Structure 1
Amino acid sequence: MLKKGILHPQLARVLAEIRHMDTIVIGDAGLPIPKGVERIDLGWKEGNPGYLDVLEEILKYIIVEKATFALEAKNFSLDFHNKSLELLPKEIPVDYINHVELKEQSKMAKAIILTGEFTPYTNVILVAGCAY
């Protein structure tokens, strides 16, 4: 039995399988899952686990070289979005696309990790970096 780290077996496996340039999406409770993309649903009630908590924990385990957010995050949940930016490595580029395009790009993700978050537009596409 693991005594620390990510205890969710599916999530731990996906994070261990991520390679350079693979993408994962961390999303709110309502983000649709495209056919063929692995779904890791962590949400068990409204707000739990929260998007920021999941993002912060995942960033402890993977190298991220780029992040993409929906433009709408700046308009509908700016304070929440700014907290997301504070968690990301400072040196990585951050892109913005409209929410419809974010959902389209999520079709290429290795996995989509759903949280229990009910705050609108709390979704991010993370591009994995290389550890060397």
Structure 2
Amino acid sequence: MYNQDFQIINTTLNETLSRIQTNQKIVVCDPYFPIPVGANILDLSLIANVPSFKQLMFLIIENLHIKALVLSNEIKEHNYDYLAYLISSKLPISLSNNFEEFKYLSSQNDVVLYVRVGELTPFSNTIVVAGKA
């Protein structure tokens, strides 16, 4: 990992990835995902689908040791393309029982940053659990 060819130039994201501790989480979410009041938010959304989940997740996968990814179970029906992309990364993936459980998991104290992207495809939100550096 830590591919110099894909170094992140966004200061907030780069600093978060360099300081994140094992088992802390980053939530990558769409513009409509309910983010808790007072949470650290990095809003990268520009226009519909820019940047996409795939674009951001590619950079995170290349620049962070990842322990696991957590997705909402509904992704199997609503966004199999994104699920297949994440499966191809060969990272451990777990599915929450439903979107309500996913929202609960994404609102815990171990979330250090919410990164909002422009993707509008439903149920693509992803919890990234950091692994050991």
Question: What CA distance in whole angstroms lies between the structure 2 residues aligned with 1:80 and 1:74?
Answer: 9
Question: What CA distance in whole angstroms lies between the structure 2 residues aligned with 1:48 and 1:129?
Answer: 27
Query: Structure 1-normalised TM-score?
Result: 0.87
Structure 1 ranges of 4+ moved more than 3 A: none
Percent identity (aligned): 27
What residue is the counterpart of 1:65 in the other structure? 67
The one-letter code matched in structure 2 to 1:54 is: L
The one-letter code matched in structure 1 to 2:127 is: I
Question: What CA distance in whole angstroms lies between the structure 2 residues aligned with 1:27 and 1:125?
Answer: 9
What residue is the counterpart of 1:107 in the other structure? 107
- Decide whether the 8 Å contact of 1:34 with 1:106 is kept in 2: no
Match of 2:58 among 56, 63, 77: 56
Query: Structure 2-normalised TM-score?
Result: 0.87
What residue is the counterpart of 1:6 in the other structure? 8
Question: What CA distance in whole angstroms lies between the structure 2 residues aligned with 1:102 and 1:28?
Answer: 14
The one-letter code matched in structure 2 to 1:105 is: L
What residue is the counterpart of 2:21 in the other structure? 19
Q: Any gaps of 5 or more consecutive residues in structure 1?
A: none
Aligned length in residues: 125
Q: Any gaps of 5 or more consecutive residues in structure 2?
A: 1-5
Alignment of 1:65-104 (within 5 A): 65-87=67-89, 90=90, 92-97=91-96, 98-104=98-104
The one-letter code matched in structure 1 to 2:68 is: K
What residue is the counterpart of 2:37 in the other structure? 35
